[in-house]
Amino acid sequence: MRSQFSFFRKDPDWHPDAGDLLLYLDGEQPSGKAARIRLHLEACWACRVEAEKVSQTISAFMDYRNRILLPSLPSLENQAGRFEDKLHALAMSTQANRFSWPSMLDRIRSSTKKLLRTPFAVPGMAVALTLVLAITLSYVWSPVVNAQQLLSHSYAVEQANDNNPNVVLHRSLRLEKRRTNDKTVLSRRRIDVWHSGGRGVTARRVYDDAGKLVAGEWSERNGSSAVYERGARTEITTRERIVPAVLDSPEDLWRFDLSARGFEGLVGTSAQAQVDKHGADYIIHYEPEDRSGNNRLLDAALTIRKADLRAVALEVTMRDQGSSGASAEPGTPVVYSIVEASFEQRPAAEVSPLVFEADAELVAAAAPDQNYPTADLQIETTYLLDRVGATLGQEVTITVGSDHKLHVEGVAATELRKEQIIGVLAAVRDNPAVVINIMTVAEALRRERAQPSVVAEIGAQAERASIPVFDELSRYFEAKAVPGSTVDVRTKIQHFSQQVSDDSSQAMCHAWILKRLANTFSPTEISSLSETAHNEYLCMVANHAQEVGQETERLQLQLGPIFFPNANSPGIEGADQSTKPANLAAAIQQLFAAASRNDAAIQSSFSLTTGSAPEGAVKVQEIQNSLFQAEQLAKWVHQTAHLNDCGGDPPRKQAMQ
Amino acid sequence: MWSKTGLSTESSIAQRSSTLLLTQQPMDLEQKVVRVYEALRTPVYQYLAVAFRDPVEAEDIAQETFLRLYVYWSSGRTIADDRLRSWIFRVAHNLAIDRGRSAKFIRELAPEAYLSAVLQVPDSGRNPEETLLDRERFDAVRNGLALLSEQERRCLHLRAEGFSYREIAGILNITSSSVAEFLRRAMRKMARYQNA
């Protein structure tokens, strides 16, 4: 320092360079040199200008950073909740590992090292020994891990992993079926599972020994799933049914989730499960109390890794039914094991979306199954019936029976109508997966002779009944009546009520069909339809939505002058924001809800009743907004689903009459 | 100058650390980590995002960093309050390096993103001429930043976060004199456009 000052004194032409100035401005110069630069700057204009230039560069950078760079970043999402989930899962995991051997040895090692560094090594050693004993005892006396708690903690880890939108989970599993007596492997499969937390979808593929893709399942967050299997039926099901499916047919175990949640679902209750510590793993053993022949599950064991509390293996012993080719003797126990071979978390952006698409080879291999009604076949049949209005009301029902065939059953009013319905089904009539059973009323009566005489009873009641909104209608029609007219007001009310009730029923029928269409076919199924079937589906939706809209509009015109004459149209602004649909399926659900509300209010207000129902008028007044919402939703659905080449006939009312 | 961030001096860092109230309130470890996370997640995310130009990854790494803090604390080890912030940044930085994102360092703000950000800057009552001058200054900084090496850029952003040379050296695992040299070079490159 002295030499520097002496240098400064000796060399009055010395100037700090840019580096010195930056260090000085940043307060990073040693105090001596900082003082020297300060003195220099007071004296030297040139260096002061240089220092100001450095300051200006810093200032410009900070301005750019704060006004351009940082605001250009995507806003940090409010991830605090998700972070807390992860943290909690980690905390649980850490807690569970507290007494593991490696951590205990670490503690002993670090404690011993610290003590040996002290000058009192011998007493230190004594203390260390005491510590070793204490830690060992704490390990021995550590609380027994409870199966329920362990499964619960593991479940929390699974949830955190499954719901992370930024990563895609990829798991590879080995599935084996073995005899219990000689451990002979009867079959072996590889399962590849991809899960996207962001999209909420899981793709599961199973390969045989030769690496050939033999089956796959594509499931969504709502639990719906599509299962494709070579040479077998295409099954649309839900993940909730996986446990009964596995118990019924252990060959379906490839669809099982290797997870704490899956294990709990399988064993029903974990209260009687026992936990064993085995090296780096916990093993949860379960044996059902009922080991009689009625219960196929003999025992189950789930392995959970201590390090991250993830389920990594499952072994299930079940009674074999001898149904599959490679089977043991019927009734003898066989072991199924699923073992995790690999697990990785990949950034979502780096994973191709194709891994979540159903493999074309699998879909194609599964589709030709002639004896099972594919989604395409169901759509086509519904579409054909829809063209003659046979899907309305209860005239014809379409169901997939326990025999896995599509049953088209119904009662037609006349022979002509029966022929019309059967005729329109010509395209699917010869399909072995379709069973048609349409009969006339006369035929149905012959089969079931005793029929209750409901009509006569209703007729008798009508004589002494009235409708809840009779007074309002009466006032309205009397005010409108032309003096001297011979038309009876009561007759007008009857006709009007009948008309309103019919229109509401019609709207309800079409809304009900829309809902049935939306519920019958899952989004996965719809996306896998052929182009023709998809177009037919959309046309049906568009046509029925149009009908709902028209009927609802007619109802508004009929009811408006009587029940809400002075009310303004609610308009778009008046509509409930919640009615703005997110997608077609959501819109259909909302439309059905609105139509149901309207129909319930109208039927209770305009139907004949023998009791007093003064609330009828109130109900019908309440549905003004609901009618408007239904009309708007119907228009939206119609516009969204409508195709230019829909053409064809919309569902006709006369066809169902 | 640097103080525009409000985090420039040792005292302000110490003040911020003390606002975490880590030692003043009894709380369990999870609560403690959540408290630190809430206080520091934004600067950590911003540093990772501007230094690595991968905001999605930055957010993920930021969360991972605080989970590491939990593991560290739960093992019984401690961090002095005034060193907590640089500890967090060091772990975040190392995690980012481990994930092999360094190749993306060089990329500056994309032209369209830059233009969009410039157009969205509030004018704060500035006249057109002042606005034009602002944009020229922004262009100059952007051009200057494009010339920086990875280490120069990291030093610059960490300095802007208010870290001292010694702290930056700790975070980047280099010496303080190297930090001074990287910053000197960075300022020289930036100054080329500033004073043009």
Domains of chain B, by residue range, sit at 2-104, 111-194
Joined together, the tokens standing for residue B192 give 């080329």
Q: Is the pLDDT of residue B193 over 80?
A: no
Quick one: pLDDT at residue B24?
Answer: 45
Question: Which two tokens mark A500?
Answer: 């309103």
Determine the Cα–Cα distance for residues B51 and B106; give it in Å rounded to an integer. Answer: 9
What is the model's pLDDT at position B89? 95
CATH code at A168-366: 2.50.20.10
Residues of chain B positioned with their CB less than 8 A from the CB of A166 = 56, 59-60
Token pair 């351009």 in the structure block, residue: A68
Chain A neighbors of B177, CB-CB under 8 A = none
Q: How many CA atoms lie within 13 A of A148 on its CB side?
A: 5
> CA of B118 to nearest chain A CA: how many angstroms apart?
6
Chain A neighbours among B 101-120 (CB < 8 Å)? 109, 113-114, 116-118, 120
Tell me whether residues B120 and A71 touch, CB distance under 8 A: yes
- The distance of B195 to chain A (nearest Cα, Å) reads 8
The pLDDT, as a whole number, for residue A263 is 84
As beta bridge partners, residue A177 has: A187, A336
Tell the burial category of A368 from Cβ atoms under 10 Å away from its Cβ (0-12, 13-18, 19+): exposed
Give the C-alpha separation, A59 to B191, whole Å. 11
Min Cα–Cα distance to chain B from A323, Å: 48
B98 interfaces chain A, CB cutoff of 8 Å: no
- The average pLDDT across A382-405 equals 73
| B188 and A CB contact within 8 Å | yes
DSSP per position, A62-93: HHHIIIIITTTSPPPP--HHHHHHHHHHHHHH
B139 Cα to chain A: minimum distance (Å): 9
Q: What are phi and psi for residue A437, nearest 5 degrees?
A: -140, 90
Contact A58 B1 (CB under 8 A): yes
**Structure confidence at residue B88 (pLDDT):** 95
Which residues of chain B neighbour A62 with C-beta distances below 8 Å? 1-2, 4-5, 160
B59 and A CB contact within 8 Å: yes
B97 — contact with chain A (CB < 8 Å)? no
Q: Which of A504, A392, A62, A436 is nearest to B160 (CA)?
A: A62
Number of CB atoms found within 10 A of residue A383's CB: 22
What's the whole-number average pLDDT of chain A?
Answer: 74
pLDDT at position A72 is 82
Q: What is the pLDDT of residue A55?
A: 92
Percent of chain B with pLDDT over 90: 33
Per-residue pLDDT at A449 exceeds 60: no
Do the Cβ atoms of A66 and B114 come within 8 Å? no
What is A129-193 written as a DSSP string?
A: HHHHHHHHHHHHTPPPPPHHHHHHHHHHHHHHHHT-TTEEEEEEEEEEEEETTT--EEEEEEEEE
Note the residue count of chain B: 196
Residues whose CB falls within 8 Å of the CB of residue A422, separated by 6 or more in sequence, listed in order = A429, A436, A438
d(CA A625, CA A613): 22
* Phi and psi at residue A402, to the nearest 5°: -65, -15
Q: Is B38 on the interface with A (CB under 8 A)?
A: yes
CB–CB of A80 and B55 under 8 A?
A: no
Q: Which residue has the higher pLDDT, A390 or A233?
A: A390
Q: Is B131 on the interface with A (CB under 8 A)?
A: no
Task: Give B-chain residues touching A307 at CB under 8 angstroms.
Answer: none
> pTM of this prediction?
0.39
Mutate to test the interface with A, among B9, B35, B56, B133 (most CBs of A within 10 A): B56
Tell me how close the Cα of A106 comes to any Cα of chain B, in angstroms.
10
User: Which site among B4, B143, B145 would you substitute to test the A interface, given the most A Cβ atoms closer than 10 Å to its Cβ?
Assistant: B4
| Distance, CA of B1 to CA of A60 (rounded, Å) | 9
Q: How far apart are CA B15 and CA A375, in angstroms?
A: 66
Alpha-carbon dihedral A567, A570, A573, A575, rounded to 10 degrees: 140
Supply the ipTM of this predicted assembly.
Answer: 0.83
Collect contacts of A22-29 with beta carbons under 8 A, ≥24 apart: A22/A54, A22/B180, A22/B183, A22/B184, A22/B187, A23/B180, A24/A51, A25/A51, A25/A54, A25/A55, A25/A58, A25/B1, A26/B2, A26/B159, A26/B165, A26/B183, A27/B9, A28/B164, A28/B165, A28/B176, A28/B180
Looking only at the bridges linking them, the beta strands covering A333-347 and A396-400 are unpaired
Q: Number of A:B CB contacts under 8 A? A: 142
Q: pLDDT tens for residues A298-326?
A: 888 899 887 778 888 998 888 776 544 45
Across A203-217, A514-528, A601-615, the highest mean pLDDT is recorded for A203-217
Q: Which residues of A touch B152 (CB under 8 A)?
A: none
Q: What is the CA radius of gyration of chain A?
A: 38
Q: What is the CATH number of domain B111-194?
A: 1.10.10.10
Alpha-carbon torsion, ordered A115, A120, A122, A124, to 10 deg: -30
Is domain B2-104 in CATH 1.10.1740, yes or no?
yes
pLDDT at position A460 is: 42
Measured between CA atoms, how close is A119 to chain B, in angstroms? 23
What percent of chain A clears pLDDT 70, i.e. is strictly above it?
A: 70
d(CA B49, CA A257): 36
Q: Which residue has the higher pLDDT, A496 or A531?
A: A496
B73 touches chain A (CB under 8 A): no
Residue A566 has pLDDT above 80, yes or no: no
Measured between beta carbons, which residues in chain A are less than 8 angstroms from residue B145? 61, 64
* A136 vs A13: which has the higher pLDDT: A13
Can you tell me the distance from the alpha carbon of A15 to that of A183, in angstroms, rounded to the nearest whole number? 87
Looking at residues A236-261, what average pLDDT do you find? 75
Task: Identify which of A393, A352, A400, A353 has the alpha carbon closest to the alpha carbon of residue A377.
Answer: A400
Contacts of A97 (CB under 8 A, 6+ apart): A103, A306, A307
B30, B60, B160 ranked by CB distance to A65: nearest? B160
Quick check: helix, strand or coil at residue A484? coil
CB contact under 8 A, B194 and A57: yes
The predicted pLDDT at position A11 comes to: 62
Query: Between residues B58 and B162, which one has the greater pLDDT?
Result: B162
Q: Report the percentage of chain A scoring pLDDT > 90.
A: 4
Chain A residue numbers touching B55 (CB-CB < 8 A):
73-74
Average pLDDT over residues A119-133: 66
- Reading the block at residue A332, the tokens are 């003898």
Cα–Cα distance list, A159 to A187, A259, A343, A355 (Å): 32, 10, 16, 22
Cβ–Cβ contact B6 with A under 8 A: no
**Closest C-alpha among A596, A585, A579 to residue A640:** A585
